[in-house]
Amino acid sequence: MSATRRLAAILAADVAGYSRLIGTDEAGTLQAFKEIQAELIDPKIAAHNGRLVKTTGDGLLVEFSRVVDALRCASDVQARMAERNAKIAADRRIDFRIGRNVRAVLVAEGDIFRRSRKWGPAPDGSYYLQLLLADLPRMRDRAHGAFSVHSVAARGAVIR
């Protein structure tokens, strides 16, 4: 197995209240989720130069080479979901929880291996960005000195 280590911005998303939604209307929830993925999420990932690594039922894992692309993708998805959900009854809405993490990852056979996720909770419809300060020196070294941070006030922040 050939593996490569690289710096990546990882976006993980899942559906808030998925068990409740699927329990209420399994077929409708699955159809709505698949439509959202095909019509909204996949095009946004492509537009922001991301790579869908895997789906996990109600969730997905996406890799970006640039943090700004991950942020813009998450913002665009959440904005479009808010527009979509405005027309849907509250108990049938699909809301995504999105977390992003910047760190060195190991890529093998198209999959991503990393230490455990350590994102904080983000309210439905928002997203959480975490930059692990302890990883910055190692990330800079692996990026051959090309990595820089201009302003980091905290280890993580919820963004709406």
Q: Which of 1, 15, 3 is nearest to 94 (CA)?
A: 15
pLDDT > 60? residue 104: yes
pLDDT in tens, 35-70: 999 999 999 999 999 999 999 889 999 999 998 899
Question: What are the b/e assignments for 131-157, b being 16+ CB within 10 Å?
Answer: bbeebbeebeeeeeeeeeeeeeeeebe
pLDDT band (50, 70, 90) for residue 131: very low
pLDDT band (50, 70, 90) for residue 86: very high
| pLDDT at residue 134 in the model | 42
| pLDDT at residue 146 in the model | 41
As a whole number, mean pLDDT of residues 2-13 equals 85
Q: What is the architecture of the domain spanning 3-159?
A: 2-Layer Sandwich (3.30)
pLDDT > 70? residue 9: yes
Which CB contacts under 8 angstroms, 24+ apart, belong to 52-59? 53/110, 53/111, 53/112, 54/111, 56/14, 57/18, 58/14, 58/15, 58/18, 58/22, 58/33, 59/12, 59/13, 59/14, 59/15
Tokens standing for 152?
A: 């980091």
Q: What is the DSSP string of 59-108?
A: EEEEEESSHHHHHHHHHHHHHHHHHHHTTS-GGG--EEEEEEEEEEEEEE
